[in-house]
Amino acid sequence: MLVSAKEMLTKAKAGKYAVGQFNINNLEWTKAILLTAQELKSPVILGVSEGAGKYMCGYKTIVGMVNGMLEELNITVPVALHLDHGSYEGAKACIEAGFSSVMFDGSHYPIEENIAKTTELVKICEEKGLSLEAEVGSIGGEEDGVVGAGECADPDECKAIADLGITMLAAGIGNIHGKYPENWAGLSFETLDAIQQKTGEMPLVLHGGTGIPSDMIKKAISLGVAKINVNTECQLSFAAATREYIEAGKDQSGKGFDPRKLLAPGFEAIKATVKEKMELFGSVNKAE
């Protein structure tokens, strides 16, 4: 059964580790992530962007697929199904469809409007026992067509949003979605520390986990990050493994064109990436 991300993140923050959010794109992605979480006894969050939601034929299709897998694969670790960078309408649609967690990304609105819309969603999520992520300060790179500059969030605005009763807070600290540029300045730990001091127990979320060096990830966790989003890294490892299979001509030998064979190396590559991340984040063996 899907669970809210609240309990797993409260434990993670208290235990100084982070739970990975791994974005899904199809059945292979979902299966790879769930099986790895189960093998490593790690809690996990499945992320779905609005674009991926459309690609997978809508939120109800996704809820059906994920719930089916939890049962058929005997997944017993805590799993949250979470909308990533949702609009206000998207968040409501996911709640309706059976997601256990949603993010409302109001970071592009003036802070007053972000507060107003987040407040409404807090009420709905509280009634239904769902977790809610809010964002302050846009995260750099591309979020489904919206390109942000990678600003650092204002710690006072973070406190204002955290106090609304949300479950977890994403705050820009110089992080970027997608691949990091050569001249990237790194994470602003000064900003992160200031945010943590203002927001106390609130689990903080680090977006754009792909390509952040391990030592920075560990430092971010020590400063209150309890959820880390990984998306691009699984895409890159899936693509590289699939390319290798095709370039070796394996799709042209025997029944190598069978999709179950063709997609297998990519599936294994996602599993390896997820395992590596769960080990780095410290969430292995944290599921009860």
Stretch near Zn ion under the rule CB under 5 A, chosen from 55-63, 192-200, 202-210, 243-251: 202-210
Stretch near Zn ion under the rule CB under 5 A, chosen from 147-155, 203-211, 258-266, 275-283: 203-211
Stretch near Zn ion under the rule CB under 5 A, chosen from 35-43, 199-207, 209-217, 253-261: 199-207
**138, amino acid identity:** S
For Zn ion, the binding residue among 207, 227, 277, 286 (CB under 5 A) is 207
Output the six-digit token pair for 212.
């952040």
Q: What one-character DSSP code corresponds to residue 192?
A: H
Measured from the Cβ of residue 254, the count of other Cβ atoms closer than 10 Å reads: 9
Say whether residue 11 binds Zn ion (CB under 5 A).
no
Taking the chain, what is the end-to-end CA distance rounded to the nearest angstrom?
14
Q: How far is the CB of 134 from Zn ion (least distance, A)?
A: 12
Nearer to Zn ion, 148 or 165 (CB): 148
Q: How far apart are CA 135 and CA 106, in angstroms?
A: 6
Measured from the Cβ of residue 17, the count of other Cβ atoms closer than 10 Å reads: 21
Say whether residue 227 binds Zn ion (CB under 5 A).
no
Nearer to Zn ion, 209 or 224 (CB): 209
248 Cβ contact partners less than 8 Å away, ≥ 6 residues apart: none
Q: How far apart are CA 218 and CA 227, in angstroms?
A: 12
Stretch near Zn ion under the rule CB under 5 A, chosen from 41-49, 53-61, 204-212, 265-273: 204-212
Nearer to Zn ion, 21 or 237 (CB): 21
Q: How far is the CB of 135 from Zn ion (least distance, A)?
A: 8
Touching Zn ion, residues 151-190 (CB under 5 A) = none
Q: How far is the CB of 144 from Zn ion (least distance, A)?
A: 10
Q: How far is the CB of 33 from Zn ion (least distance, A)?
A: 17
Q: Which residue is nearest to Zn ion (CB)?
A: 207
Q: How far apart are CA 36 and CA 25, in angstroms?
A: 16
Give me the residue label for tokens 């001249």.
183
Nearer to Zn ion, 67 or 87 (CB): 87
SS3 label, residue 266: helix
Q: What one-character DSSP code corresponds to residue 253?
A: S
Say whether residue 13 binds Zn ion (CB under 5 A).
no
Catalytic residue among 84, 105, 154, 156: 84
84 catalytic per annotation: yes
Q: How far apart are CA 6 and CA 9, in angstroms?
A: 5
17 Cβ contact partners less than 8 Å away, ≥ 6 residues apart: 221, 226, 281, 282, 283, 286
Radius of gyration of the chain (CA): 18
Nearer to Zn ion, 22 or 245 (CB): 22
How many positions of this chain bind Zn ion (CB under 5 A)? Answer: 1
State the catalytic residues: 84
Residues in the site for Zn ion, rule: CB under 5 A? 207
